[in-house]
Structure 1
Amino acid sequence: MIMTYFDFNSASEQTSYDLIPKGTLVRVRMTIRPGGFDDASQGWTGGYATRNDNTGSVYLNCEFVVMEGEFARRKMWSLIGLYSAKGPEWANMGRTFIKAILNSARGVHPGDNSPAAQNARRIGGFADLDGIEFMGKVDWEKDQNGQDKSVIKAAITPDHKEYAALMGGARQPAPAAQTPSAPNAYAQATGRAPNPGRPSWAQ
């Protein structure tokens, strides 16, 4: 009987990663891991949202990859809340985070309420967030096993003193300001008029 052997002596040693320190500012690319849940009445289309069958909560399951620097290519995972049966707080936190992401990615000052700035905070759907690059702040939280893990829960916007140096020329251009008679991004994506009651990411 001929024995076959696989020699692993030349394989690389496995890498052990320490947590990225709390408070570290990193430029990240966010991708959404599709969960296949849609609710057109909420503007949740394209299969990007995920629904927890046990709790009924709906969220975006996001992966953040560090683009450069000491922690380049490191990955973190966080959820962006869209709905919780417990109340509006989780969804409101999600909306706040998405707004900050858009401000960071498109170079919009949080206090800027000009028509161009307001337009930059609109998206046609979750597809506009998939692959977006922004400056994030690292935090820690417990995983399901009670172990610390690095997460991104906040975006750094142009009012931060380190924003310009860290983002450099990586900002994504904001969409051109639209005239009042022009259809907004939601209408262009869906063919329907905007609904003032919709969440900001659905308009």
Structure 2
Amino acid sequence: MTYDMNDAQPQVMGELIPDGTYARVAMHIRKGGVDGAGDLDKGLLKASNQPGSDVLSLDSEFTVLEGPHARRKFWQAFTVSGGKLDEEGQSIGWKISKSTFRAMIDSALGLNPEDMSEAAKAKRVLRGLSDLDGISFVAKIAVEPGRGAYRDQNRLAHVVLPTAPEWQKVMNGEPVAAAPASSPRAEKPVTEKPAWGQGGATARPADPKPSWGGALSGGGAAQPGSAPPRPAAPAQPARAAPAWLSS
């Protein structure tokens, strides 16, 4: 038996998400088989395939949730340990990843990055890195030029914080023009105090689990501080699923 491939359609290469696109994305962690620091992160990390490298990373898949690029995906690894060290002997890659993860939480929950109240600080504490699996936030997506045999690919340019005007527009479902890296347009944070940061509203106590579940479920856009208060619940076992997966 033979297989005639002449009548097959030419291979179609996936088009990239345009450089500078703003979108709400969800992050899924692809387990790499290497244990993390705690029981919750067993088998979570991925070892580098570079000879002699001690880097362990979080292999992440991002899916665009809404808009013209909905369901499109891109991938990125975040260093958790190893690699180049700073003058204090700490992994430079991990420090960068940690800042990005904090921004994801702030973007997901509508937290002002300057809010260092006890309630806000409690929401930035994770039981393990696996708690980030399923988190959704506003992102600016870039196109990274290919090198050698590798073609151009999408990556996370940066997490868009609630202090940026694009954050509220994306959360409201409004169109936002792409701002490529080469654009002379400079992104500036909002200088006026956001409406959700005004008034004397008291923040609700932090839950024992990450609290961004309300911002992740359903198709509507979440507003800062709009998650309804939940009754206090007993502490969950260490392996309990994050709140947004069970909501």
Which category of TM-score, normalised to the shorter sequence, fits these structures?
Answer: 0.7 to 0.9
Residue deviations 1:103-130, cap 9 Å, x none? 1111111111111211121111122111
Alpha-carbon offset, residue 60 of structure 1:
0.4
1:56 and 2:105 correspond:
no
Identity of aligned residues (%): 34
Equivalent in 89, 93, 96 of residue 96 of structure 2:
93
How far apart are the structure 2 equivalents of 1:175 and 1:146?
A: 48
Distance 1:5-1:86 versus aligned 2 partners, 3 A rule: closer
How far apart are the structure 1 equivalents of 2:228 and 2:54?
A: 34
Alpha-carbon offset, residue 164 of structure 1:
1.6
1:157 and 2:161 correspond:
yes
Alpha-carbon offset, residue 51 of structure 1:
1.4
The answer to whether the Cα contact below 8 Å between 1:97 and 1:153 also exists between their aligned partners in 2 is: no
State the Cα RMSD in Å.
3.2
How far apart are the structure 2 equivalents of 1:128 and 1:175?
A: 21
Listed as ranges, the gaps of 5+ residues in structure 2 are 86-90, 173-219, 240-247
TM-score, normalised with respect to structure 1? 0.73
How far apart are the structure 1 equivalents of 2:9 and 2:78?
A: 36
How far apart are the structure 2 equivalents of 1:170 and 1:120?
A: 20
Q: 3-state SS of the aligned residue for 1:189?
A: coil
Which residue number in structure 2 is paired with residue 80 of structure 1? 78
Distance 1:175-1:146 versus aligned 2 partners, 3 A rule: farther
Higher strand share: 1
1:148 and 2:144 correspond:
no
How far apart are the structure 2 equivalents of 1:31 and 1:24?
A: 20
Q: Which residue identity does 1:49 align to in structure 2? A: L
Q: Which residue identity does 2:65 align to in structure 1? A: M
Distance 1:4-1:23 versus aligned 2 partners, 3 A rule: closer
How far apart are the structure 2 equivalents of 1:153 and 1:46?
A: 29
Which residue number in structure 1 is paired with residue 43 of structure 2? 47
TM-score, normalised with respect to structure 2? 0.61
Q: Which residue identity does 1:131 align to in structure 2? A: G
Deviating beyond 6 angstroms after TM superposition, the runs of 4 or more aligned structure 1 residues are 3-6, 11-14
